Amino acid sequence: MRIASVIVDVPAKQTDRAFDYLIPAHWIETIQPGMRVIVPFGPRKIQGFVTEIKAESEFKKLREIIEPMDLEPVLNHELLELGNWLTDNTLCFKIYAFQAMLPAALKAKYEKKVKLSLDARLEELPLQLQVAFKNDASILWEEALKDGLVPILQKEAAKGNLEVIYVVKERLKKKKLKYVIPLLSPADLEIAGNNMPQRADKQKEVLRYFVNNTEPVELRQLLSQLSISAATVKALVEKEILTEKDMEVYRDPYENRTFARTEPLPLTEDQHKAIMPILGSIEDRHHEVFLLYGVTGSGKTEIYLQSIQDVIEKGREAIVLVPEIALTPQMVNRFKGRFGNLVAVLHSGLSAGEKYDEWRKIQRKEVKVVVGARSAIFAPFENLGIIIIDEEHETSYKQEEMPRYHARDVAIERAQNNNCPVVLGSATPALETYARAQKGVYKLLSLPNRMNKRALPAVEIIDMREELRAGNRSMFSRKLFDLLKERIDRKEQSVLFLNKRGHSSFVMCRDCGYVMNCPNCDISLTYHKVKEQMKCHYCGFESYVPTQCPECSSDYIRYFGTGTQKVEDELGKILPEAKVIRMDVDTTGQKGAHERLLKEFHEGKADILLGTQMIAKGLDFPNITLVGVLSADTMLHLPDFRSSEKTFQLLTQVSGRAGRHELPGEVIIQTYTPEHYSVELAGTQDYDRFYNREMMMRKAHHYPPFYYLALVTISHEQLMTVVSATEKIVAYVRSRISNHAVVLGPAASPIPRINNRYRYHCLIKYKREPELNKTLKAILDQYQADPKSGLLVSIDVNPFILM
Ligand code: ADP
Ligand code: ZN
Ligand code: ZN
């Protein structure tokens, strides 16, 4: 008798354990640990993961597995174990842990098919399959099950003749975008332009644009780039000079691309010193965590590349994590350039199908390296030789939903299982990381110099309060304005950086101060210019933009805040000659837009690149000689103990964008709090001093890295219910924890109400509490076991956001 332990897909307290099922005789050869199966559960049929196969069970009456869902296990042994680790360490349901490791295509809604591999020969397949595949290169999984083909399919899959593919069932709605296309040749456009009357200067400008750009261009982009209205384009369409067309633009960003091969560079002495311990760890199959600490441009990536090369030569595999926004084509090129098609890329810009394809390459061992964002840490490699986390301080490595894991912790766990090194790279390491390196828990490797020996750019901090006193109400200081103008005259490029976080463009009445808030959440609505709408970022509530104040009927109700759009508008007024490319969530929403805008900037099609944090990364163009930070301190005032650290990191990173090549760079940081140490020290790019200052603060306030944190957030529709439940939880935690720990609460969360639910929390600061996880689990169990109470309890062990 063969019995399978199955974790079923019912995320609830009562089902958060393995259930035993009998494996029917005809599936005994087929079903293996790590496969997904369909099992009966109560009256339903549901999915589950087989975690173990055993000979007996303590339960008597077992039901039978209905059928397998995979030809090969989707989780290997190590990942199954890792699922247990994730469950224990992040206090999530096991089913969530397993699901987090798989690409979305494996999570239902997709039609499963079995397809002949490219090099499979039909006539060499067993007769039964020849019949099945006679008319079609793929058959539906459902049919295969019905016809009892799965065991044979499995054998052929093992030989590489077949593979499983997923086809999106309801075709995901692909957004079509309106494009503008010239109908005339450049020469004729020029003639048409010359024949137009003087006053049609806008139309002439559009024609001039198409004389130089024959490619179709997205309408919205054209409008913003030329600062024209849709009517201008419409007029030209009516004259049959241009035409508009809806086009689908999506496709595999790396397809049809050849990557220029690069060779390893002879390492500098510093690089050599830094790489030796890493190579030693690879050679000895010895787990160790390295912090590769070096400013941007100090040669870290070259060290990653050469370490990976060594790993590949030893027949092992490598995972490289890069923050999502840094996963730019430039970054991908460097890995593809060195290792060609041995590299898979995983990031959120890929469609579910594309992601599954990349994942499958890993699973089938067709690649040796995966470069990807956070979830790539679960790449199903079986012989890991190194894990690299670039920009390891980035907060995007923490997942903010279940399982609430930090990729760094998962990396270290996997590297331990695989006896391999972890390399954490950063110019501004997370405080926790640097502290561990100081204590010798991690090994510190330093690259003190930039490769090109260029001095870091000169940074000047401008006090915006002084500007105001001098009568300058613009969002540009006089100095920044002068420098911008100078760059335009010299045909050099500038980057303007708007620290958008903590800022929203809200609508306020100038007469009575009324601010438009979300009716469901205690937070102001954000103004969206493109759609002329007010929107809540927490619950999605949308509303019209008022033209009159609902409180006092004043007409002076305007939007405030400095969104990128507003900056762009102002630039248009004060520097009308400047060509501006704006990069923010609005202009980079579609796939490939990010890349396209950067390319345009690189090609010199604009003088100024204006954007949010997404431009802080990976921008390495020779012609950038000025970086301006418009509002350095907007993040400092967030209720977040990491806000100083984040400000310092961001400012340092942005400053590094200037003068990376021959031309020297200048950086202007505008701020209302020039005296704040994270602004001041970013000015001198002095990480060590910043580290010491910030460590003092953290120590004084009992924050990481001196203390660990755990955050319990409780929400309910009734305020009284939340408060009393939180009181109970706080009391319970206090009773179970030593008096070295600090338990704070009940306190209202920084966002006290979201979607009509009041939110309270309990914050625990502790150093060593071996029993804490059990206590927290008990709290979760109690509330999850009683859904009728309406209370939602969520627990974040090592929270990054205290909202
Ligand atoms: P980081 O990852 O720290 O930003 P990179 O590895 O990208 O640094 O190096 C910065 C620049 O220096 C890149 O253009 C890279 O090609 C170049 N570079 C790195 N190492 C060497 C080397 N040993 N010899 C010559 N050029 C190098
Ligand atoms: Zn008013
Ligand atoms: Zn809301």
Partners of residue 629 on adjacent β-strands: 497, 669
Average of per-residue pLDDT values in the chain: 86
Which of 443-457, 552-566, 589-603, 725-739 has the least mean pLDDT? Answer: 552-566
Nearest-CA residue for atom 25 of ligand 1: 265
Q: What is the pLDDT of residues 171-209, one digit of tens each?
A: 333 445 788 888 888 888 888 888 888 888 889 889 888
CA of 517 to the centre of ligand 2 (A): 13
Mean pLDDT of 510-532: 75
CA-390 nearest atom, ligand 1 = 2
**Residue 279, pLDDT above cutoff 80:** yes
Give residue 452 CA to ligand 1 midpoint distance, Å.
8
Taking the CB of residue 271, how many other CB atoms lie within 10 A of it? 21
pLDDT tens digits, residue range 213-271? 877 888 888 888 888 888 899 989 988 888 888 765 433 445 556 677 889 999 999 99
pLDDT in tens, 639-657: 678 888 988 998 888 877 7
How far is the C-alpha of 125 from the C-alpha of 718, rounded, in Å? 65
* Each residue's pLDDT tens digit, 741-758: 999 888 888 788 888 899
Residue-level pLDDT at 175: 44
* Rounded distance from Cα 433 to ligand 1 centre (Å): 23
3-state SS assignment for residue 180: strand
27-44 pLDDT, tens digit each = 999 999 999 998 988 878
Higher pLDDT among residues 360 and 49, named by residue: 49
pLDDT for the residue 504: 52
- Rounded to the nearest whole angstrom, what is the distance from the C-alpha of residue 203 to the centroid of ligand 1? 46
- Is the CB of 317 within 6 Å of ligand 1? no
- Higher local confidence (pLDDT), 182 or 83: 83
E strand map for 368-471: 369-372, 384-390, 422-426, 443-447, 458-463
pLDDT-derived band at 285, boundaries 50, 70, 90: very high
The pLDDT of 306-313, averaged and rounded, is 98
Output 537 or 371, whichever has higher pLDDT: 371
Facing residues of 293 across strands? 426, 446
Residue 578 alpha carbon to ligand 1 centre in Å: 32
Distance (Å) from CA 303 to ligand 1 centroid: 9
Q: What is the pLDDT of residues 106-123, one digit of tens each?
A: 875 557 788 888 777 878
pTM for the structure as a whole: 0.78
Pairwise CA distance, residues 348 & 368, whole Å = 21
The two tokens of residue 685 are: 């790019």
Tell me the pLDDT band of 290, cut-offs 50, 70 and 90: very high
pLDDT value of position 252: 44
Written as one letter, the residue type at 218 is E
- For residue 70, pLDDT over 50 is answered with yes
Which has the higher per-residue pLDDT, 161 or 79? Answer: 79
> Is residue 656 lining ligand 1, measured as CB closer than 6 Å?
no
pLDDT at residue number 637: 64
Q: Report CA 259 to chain centroid distance, whole Å.
A: 24
Using the atom order of ligand 1, give the atom closest to the CA of residue 294. 3
Closest approach atom of ligand 1 to CA 271: 23
* 638 confidence band (pLDDT: 50, 70, 90): low
Q: Is the CB of 306 under 6 A from ligand 1?
A: no
Q: Is the CB of 272 under 6 A from ligand 1?
A: no
pLDDT at 328: 73
- Mean pLDDT, rounded, for 97-114: 80
Non-local CB neighbours of 453 within 8 Å, separated by 6+ positions: none
More confident residue, 371 or 152: 371
* Whether residue 262 has its Cβ less than 6 Å from ligand 1: no
Q: What is the pLDDT of residue 715?
A: 95
Spacing, Cα 528 to ligand 3 middle (Å): 15
The per-residue pLDDT for range 482-508, each reduced to its tens digit, is 999 999 999 999 999 886 644 456 777
**Is the distance from the beta carbon of residue 429 to the nearest atom of ligand 1 less than 6 Å?**
no
301 pocket-lining for ligand 1 (C-beta < 6 Å): yes
Q: Which of 451, 452, 453 gets mutated to test ligand 1 (max ligand atoms within 8 A of its CB)?
A: 451
For residue 469, report the distance from its CA to the centre of ligand 2, in Å. Answer: 28
- Which ligand ends up closest to the CA of 554? 2
Tell me: the pLDDT tens digits for 432-445?
Answer: 999 999 999 999 99
Nearest residue (CA) to ligand 1, atom 20? 299
Q: How far apart are CA 509 and CA 526, in angstroms?
A: 14
Among the ranges 72-81, 749-758, 788-797, which has the highest mean pLDDT value?
A: 72-81
Lowest-confidence pick of 73-82, 217-226, 316-325: 217-226
Looking at the DSSP bridge assignments, the partners of residue 77 are none
Ligand 1 contact via 299 beta carbon (within 6 Å): yes
How much distance in Å is there from the Cα of 664 to the middle of ligand 1?
18
- List, for residues 357-409, the tens digit of each pLDDT value: 889 889 989 999 999 999 999 999 999 999 999 999 998 899 988 899 999 99
Residue 685 in contact with ligand 1 by CB distance below 6 A: no
Residue 546 burial (C-beta neighbours within 10 Å; 0-12, 13-18, 19+): middle
The confidence score (pLDDT) of residue 174 equals: 40
Between the CA of 757 and the centroid of ligand 3 the distance, in Å, is 10
Contact 12, 63 (CB under 8 A): no
**Ligand number with the minimum distance to the CA of 753:** 3
| Shortest-distance Cα residue to atom 14 of ligand 1 | 297
Two structure tokens written together for 510? 């100038």
Q: What does the alpha-carbon distance between residue 762 and residue 744 come to, in Å, rounded to a whole number?
A: 6
- Nearest bound ligand to the CA of residue 388: 1
Q: What tokens were used for 283?
A: 């050679």
> Which of 261, 302, 449, 652 to probe ligand 1 with, by most ligand atoms within 8 A of CB?
302
